[in-house]
Chains A and B, each alone.
Chain A
Amino acid sequence: MARAFDEILGGEDGPPTRDELAAIARWIETTPPEELRRRQRSAEATFRQLGITFAVYGESDAAERIIPFDIVPRVFLPDEWTRLSEGLIQRTEAINAFLDDVYGERRILKEGVLPEDLVLGNPQFRPEIAGMRPPHGIWAHICGIDLVRTGPDEFWVLEDNARTPSGVSYMLENREAMLRLCPELFRNFRVAAVDSYPDRLLETMKSVAPLGVAAPTCVVLTPGHYNSAYYEHSFLADSMGIELVEAADLVVDDDVVWMRTIAGRVRVDVIYRRIDDDFLDPLVFRPDSALGVPGLIAAYAAGNVAIMNAPGNGIADDKAIYSYMPEIVRFYSGAEPKLPNVETWRCREPQALQYVLDNLEKVVVKLVDGSGGYGMLVGPTASKAEIEAFRAALIAEPHRYIAQPTLALSTVPTLAESGLAPRHVDFRPFVLTGANMVQVVPGGLTRVALKEGSLVVNSSQGGGTKDSFVLMDDPVIAQSQDFGFGQTQTMGGMTQSQGPL
């Protein structure tokens, strides 16, 4: 494979021409690696102390680990960000229109844009909630759209997450750590702030409350503190100043949702749920689920509560549907998609299957309903045995798989054992859709594959995270950058001096 494009150091065409990137490159060069390592350790110690941990699936004792943090930030230039945002907003609007349509009129099926059985036969299409409409017709209030990059202007959408996308707490905590550990970067670059995210999220929640509710009560619904993303759930509730509830805290009475408090019942209007559809309401979805709130869907159907994201959203971010996203965007927006999809072979189609089988060592094969980097074949790095196992699986159940070319994902310098080295990254920005506005928070979660050459960035597979800087126009990159080394140690501008003896 050709050398990958490095976002800061440049690609085969040489170093980047943009001043901002050159300045960041200089910061990386002039900061001694052991100093970077010290700061990185300090950040990780903080994360461990705060309990920003996740449990790894498939590990029996639910070991709590922190996700490794890399101190070198990833940088987006102002014009890049503007283009990205436009593409993200267009895509999110299409996702919302699509959901409203497939659970309502089904125009897109009637007009033959998508094969009917791909939607109606898809397990992610939930007939149980067909005909129900969320307040304000908004389904995907919080979208995490995974992007990869292959060149200066080449961004691709890898995956849409329209159910319960996670990772936003890392965006915020990573920034917090960077502000503390690398203040010189923020002195020298105008980095867009991300700390307004909780406020924007709460505004979004309030805006989608059922009609006629003046001061809506909003809550975050978590499966509980054994969940791998519990830290994030509590972090979000905490920063929004709203209750973090579990299913057992909620009761539905007379088609209205209430929470149990020490002073009696309080009516709940908006629920940001971080549990899967299956566990929302045992009367409607899985009857064996002890996690759910009996009657919740009835309250939702009656229009008495907003659930965000809405139940049934899985149909929008299904990998089989993904390959049709360009058509979906065109259908609802009437315009060409601003962000392209990665080329995708649907193995359910015989021709595509043949191509994939002939090129298994070159492509990435994914389970349609898999996630977290599981059930995935990365052809170029797979063993013969792995390839043959996937060949057999593909022939047996082709409809369960899609395949994509192996992309030369961009790299960002990353602190490895041996010093700074290029490592592949992806990016998850967060798009909020409220009753009146669609917005992209200027930042996101950059995930980095810490193993040399690896393209798998999932935290469960040894990935780490980085802060993602979005630079604002008119950056104050001073002529002489002061990165603060070899200077007097100061504390918040105060120096300690000893009194006269």
Chain B
Amino acid sequence: MLSRTASSLYWLGRYFERTDFIARLVEATVRLDVLSPRSAGQAAWASALAVTETDETFVERGGEVRRREVARFLTVDNSHPGSIVRCLDMARNNARAVRTALTRDAWAAINRAWLTFEAKPAADDPNAVLDLVEAVKNETRGFEGAVHRMLRNQTTWFIRLGQAVERADNTARLLDVKYHILLPAGERIGGVVDRDQWTTILQTVSAVTAYRWLYSDGLTPANVIDLLIARAELPRSLAASVEETVDVLGLLARRTGLHGEADRMARVRATRMARTRSGEVIAAGLHQYLQAFIHENALLHAAIGRQFTFS
């Protein structure tokens, strides 16, 4: 496979995953907002900006943190790279560059998602935002399915690799930004917490049902953290993303006969993850842990680029 093709597939995976993540984040935030008093709603939107690391950009633009403005900013705003429309655009550009490697189904799902935005949808009231996000999610699901139905070869592996690396990053950021909600200052773990805020987190990683299945003792911060970090059963957990990275790199290594720096880094990370206990993470400092994880993930991203000569 051409190095450039591999690179485009990988980035396609990353951008598609990011699109999906922002869509879920916006959806969960809309729900939280309409349930909350005005000030809490505003805080919800502020944290959505923080998770996508666009809070500064938003403020620089002179935007006021209100539902309407932030929702537009994160969904249909063409002028900043963190919006759904721009992520989709990047995903589609990468897909176009490797059009031959994709099945018609996979391409059609990306193209349909993109066309949703070409129609210049409104994102003014909560219902319009939810409709839009729902449309995007439909197509991301369609894409997931199409990739799943594609030949199990390097094409799908590079897409999955991009998705895994992106997912690890997204989940870590989500946890990191929301950690003051999970672990409120001065509040004992297990104290009274804002159930709605928590539900937002679980919704964003589609884990509401999974949580009920895995934990019988109700909604607690320690459990949520445990689920998102250490439970490989949850596809969007850090553990699952780390495992997926190792698996996919292994498949690629078997095909190309080459082992490299990225394989080694991924395996070291997976070994460490297997020993990770969420309780210890919380005790030692969740924020520091997540920052280190995000940094390591970025290093792995760079190593992948070098190993497969992306540039």
Contacts and interface: CB of A to CB of B under 8 A. Distances in A.
Asked if the two chains touch in their complex, CB atoms less than 8 Å apart, one says yes
B100 A238 contact: yes
A50 interface: yes
A230 B252 CA distance: 28
B4 A246 contact: yes
B256 interface: yes
Nearest to A64: B118
A116 interface: no
A352 to B, nearest CB: 46
A162 B246 CA distance: 50
A224 interface: yes
A181 interface: no
B6 interface: yes
B108 A50 contact: yes
Contacts of A243: 2, 5
Given A243-B2, A262-B3, A262-B256, A230 B104 contact: no
Contacts of A224: 97
A62 to B, nearest CB: 12
A430 to B, nearest CB: 20
Which of B3, B111, B112, B256 is the most central at the interface, judged by chain A CB atoms within 10 Å of its CB?
B3
B37 interface: no
Interface in A106-120: none
A263 B99 contact: no
Given A49-B111, A51-B111, A261 B3 contact: yes
B311 to A, nearest CB: 9
B154 A234 contact: no
B308 A51 contact: no
B231 interface: no
B256 to A, nearest CB: 4
B95 to A, nearest CB: 9
Contact of B154 (A49, A259, A262): A262
Interface string A252-275: 000000011111000000000000
Contact of B100 (A49, A237, A246, A263): A237
Contact of A249 (B4, B93, B308): B4
Contact of B2 (A50, A234, A260): A260
Given A50-B107, A244-B100, A263 B256 contact: yes
B109 to A, nearest CB: 10
Interface string B5-49: 110000000000000000000000000000000000000000000
B2 A261 contact: yes
Nearest to A243: B2
A357 interface: no
B3 A49 contact: no
Which of A51, A224, A238, A244 is the most central at the interface, judged by chain B CB atoms within 10 Å of its CB?
A51
A245 interface: yes
A234 B6 CA distance: 16
A231 B2 contact: no
Contacts of B107: 50-51
Contacts of A48: 115
Given A238-B99, A244-B100, A263-B257, A49 B108 contact: yes
A259 B96 contact: no
B63 to A, nearest CB: 25
A83 interface: no
Nearest to A260: B3
B3 A249 contact: yes
A336 to B, nearest CB: 44
Nearest to A219: B2
Nearest to B257: A263
B1 interface: yes
Interface in B99-139: 99-100, 104, 107-108, 111-112, 115
- Interface residues of chain B: helix, strand, loop or mixed (majority): helix
B59 interface: no
A260 B257 CA distance: 16
Contacts of B276: none
Contacts of A286: none
Nearest to A248: B4
A4 B120 CA distance: 44
A180 interface: no
B309 interface: yes
Nearest to A49: B108
Contacts of B309: 260, 262
B258 interface: yes
Given A51-B99, A230-B96, A249 B2 contact: yes
Contacts of A245: 2, 4
A225 interface: yes
A468 B249 CA distance: 48
A51 B6 CA distance: 21
B108 to A, nearest CB: 5
B2 A259 contact: yes
B252 to A, nearest CB: 8
A238 to B, nearest CB: 4
Contacts of B115: 48
A243 B8 CA distance: 14
A22 B107 CA distance: 41
Contacts of B2: 243, 245, 249, 259-262
A261 B112 CA distance: 30
Interface of B: 1-6, 93, 96-97, 99-100, 104, 107-108, 111-112, 115, 154, 252, 256-258, 308-309
22 contacts: A48-B115, A50-B104, A50-B108, A51-B96, A51-B107, A230-B96, A234-B96, A234-B99, A234-B100, A235-B99, A235-B100, A238-B99, A238-B100, A244-B99, A246-B4, A249-B3, A259-B2, A260-B2, A261-B1, A262-B3, A263-B257, A263-B258
Q: Which 9 A-B pairs have the closest CB atoms?
A: A234-B99, A238-B100, A225-B96, A263-B256, A262-B308, A260-B3, A225-B97, A234-B100, A262-B6
Given A49-B112, A50-B104, A263-B257, 14 more contacts: A51-B96, A230-B96, A234-B99, A243-B2, A244-B99, A244-B100, A245-B4, A259-B2, A260-B2, A260-B4, A262-B6, A262-B252, A262-B308, A263-B258
